Structure 1
Amino acid sequence: MTLTPRLDILGAALADTSRSQMLCELMDGRAFTSKELASAAGISPQTASVHLKHLQRAGLISSLRSGRCLYHRIAGEEIAQALETLATLAPADHLYRVQQRKGGKAELLVARSCYDHLAGRLGVALADSLNALGDLIPDGDQYTPVPSERWMKLGVHLPNGPGKRPFARACLDWTERKHHIAGPLAKQLLTHALASDWVQRQTGKRGLLISATGLGAFEQILAIPSEFLSEGAA
């Protein structure tokens, strides 16, 4: 018997459009019921339950019962990172065609959550700006934050010393094909952006809307021109 990774199990789990759509819905880090995921994939709840069991057996999602509802979510940060990286290999031209249609608006390209951190044009712009301003120093596939008042304005509390895992690391963005920031630092950024109403979640959509307050904050604190992000504005 040859000891090789069972990529065939993962391949079989991903080789279905409905399962892929449900995984993409779960990539924003929230937990959803079978009915909600069925609606996102355009299939019946019964069919969704069969697909979700397949994904769970492959180790891609986990499930938790709360009251009468069974909730599903991505099995962990490492799974989300692998899926986002894998997505960079897939064609994305269909997203841009949607954006170019008359009246089309693909907020997913401008701002979204990648598990527990910001992604899309906004996520990459944050990484680029923090690098340019000297608040983040690239160090291989990680980032070293430099203490400054800017972090307080962004709702980020820097650690006193090294932790068990990188505080900030690079995550290849699916649509931008450049790196955004992941890790505990990026999680704090998203949490603060949501709490401050800089970005807003949408019902039934993974894309985030950027509020007028958010456009102003990102421009004032990080020198990201509001016109650059206005396509995803609320």
Structure 2
Amino acid sequence: MKEGPDISHLAALIGDPARANMLTALMSGQALTARELAMEAGITPQTASSHLKKLQEGRLIALRQQGRHRYFALAGPEVSAVLESLMGLAGGMGQRRSRVGPKDASLRHARVCYNHLAGQRGVQMYDSLLRQDMLVLTPNGITVSPAGEAFVSALGVDLAGLRTARPLCRDCLDWSERRSHLGGALGRALLAQMEAKGWARRSKDSRAIVFTSEGKRQFDRAFPPQGLT
């Protein structure tokens, strides 16, 4: 028997179409009920219960109880990172869902990836922070420079309060852009600030992030695209 981690079990869990749909739905970062996940997967609640049990046993999702209500969420950012990478790989190979339309364009523009900003806007923000040396790539990961500390603090992010979070910063492969966007505690905090400032809001019907006209202007001012810095 070969030594080392066994990826076949996890691959089989994720590879089932119904379970893959459930996991994708949980990429919004929201906790969903079994009934809601059954609807996302296009299966009966009874079948969904069997799939959810397998995902729990595989430690891909976690149960969250609120009073009498039971919700399911991804087990952590490591799971979302794997799913996002798989979505990028599938997209690059032409393996796309048959459902297309305006929602797909909005998801490519800006969406939530577990708890941080993804899509074209997410990549723009990450690239801008790197170009302006606010984020620095090192052999040990991503660090925030002194200029970056001052910048995110000016945006209202309590960077000192995030220092205990792990990871503070990480790059996350964007499935639609197939480039990196910013994850980790700082990525989550920056998206939260955009929502608090009224720049953007989460769509009720999808993972899309909808920016207001003023929010787009403020975003481009804070994170100018290449050529405008």
Which TM bucket (shorter chain)?
0.7 to 0.9
The residue number in structure 2 matching 1:230 is none
The residue number in structure 1 matching 2:182 is 181
The residue number in structure 2 matching 1:203 is 204
Residues 108-159 of structure 1 show CA distances to partners (whole Å, capped at 9, x for unaligned) of 1111111121111111100111112222122246222223443234332333
Give the deviation of 1:160 after TM superposition: 9.0
For structure 1, the residue ranges without an aligned partner over 5 or more in a row are: 226-234
Question: 1-side partners of 2:98 and 2:35: how far apart?
Answer: 29
The residue number in structure 2 matching 1:129 is 128
Give the direction of change, closer, same or farther, for the CA distance of 1:10–1:104 in structure 2 (3 Å limit): closer
Question: 1-side partners of 2:98 and 2:128: how far apart?
Answer: 24
The residue number in structure 2 matching 1:52 is 52
The residue number in structure 1 matching 2:214 is 213
1:182 maps to amino acid: G
The residue number in structure 1 matching 2:113 is 114
1:98 maps to amino acid: V
Question: 2-side partners of 1:97 and 1:52: how far apart?
Answer: 24
Contact 1:40 1:204 in 2 (8 A): no
TM-score by length of 1: 0.84
Give the deviation of 1:4 after TM superposition: 3.5
Give the deviation of 1:167 after TM superposition: 2.0
Name the SS for the 2:91 alignment partner.
coil
Alignment of 1:192 with 2:193, yes or no, is yes
Give the deviation of 1:25 after TM superposition: 0.8
Question: 1-side partners of 2:204 and 2:162: how far apart?
Answer: 39
Question: 2-side partners of 1:186 and 1:18: how far apart?
Answer: 29
The residue number in structure 2 matching 1:62 is 62
Give the direction of change, closer, same or farther, for the CA distance of 1:170–1:96 in structure 2 (3 Å limit): farther
Give the deviation of 1:20 after TM superposition: 0.6
2:174 maps to amino acid: D
Question: 2-side partners of 1:183 and 1:161: how far apart?
Answer: 10
Alignment of 1:159 with 2:160, yes or no, is yes
Alignment of 1:26 with 2:32, yes or no, is no
Give the direction of change, closer, same or farther, for the CA distance of 1:160–1:20 in structure 2 (3 Å limit): closer
The residue number in structure 1 matching 2:8 is 8
Give the deviation of 1:18 after TM superposition: 1.4
The residue number in structure 1 matching 2:172 is 171
Question: 2-side partners of 1:129 and 1:108: how far apart?
Answer: 20
Alignment of 1:98 with 2:100, yes or no, is yes
Give the direction of change, closer, same or farther, for the CA distance of 1:8–1:174 in structure 2 (3 Å limit): same
2:145 maps to amino acid: V
Name the SS for the 1:73 alignment partner.
strand
For structure 2, the residue ranges without an aligned partner over 5 or more in a row are: none
Give the deviation of 1:163 after TM superposition: 4.9
The residue number in structure 2 matching 1:229 is none
**Root mean square deviation of aligned Cα:** 2.6
Name the SS for the 2:176 alignment partner.
coil
Identity %: 39
Contact 1:141 1:169 in 2 (8 A): no
Size of the aligned set, in residue pairs, is 222
Name the SS for the 2:5 alignment partner.
coil
1:62 maps to amino acid: A
Name the SS for the 1:205 alignment partner.
coil
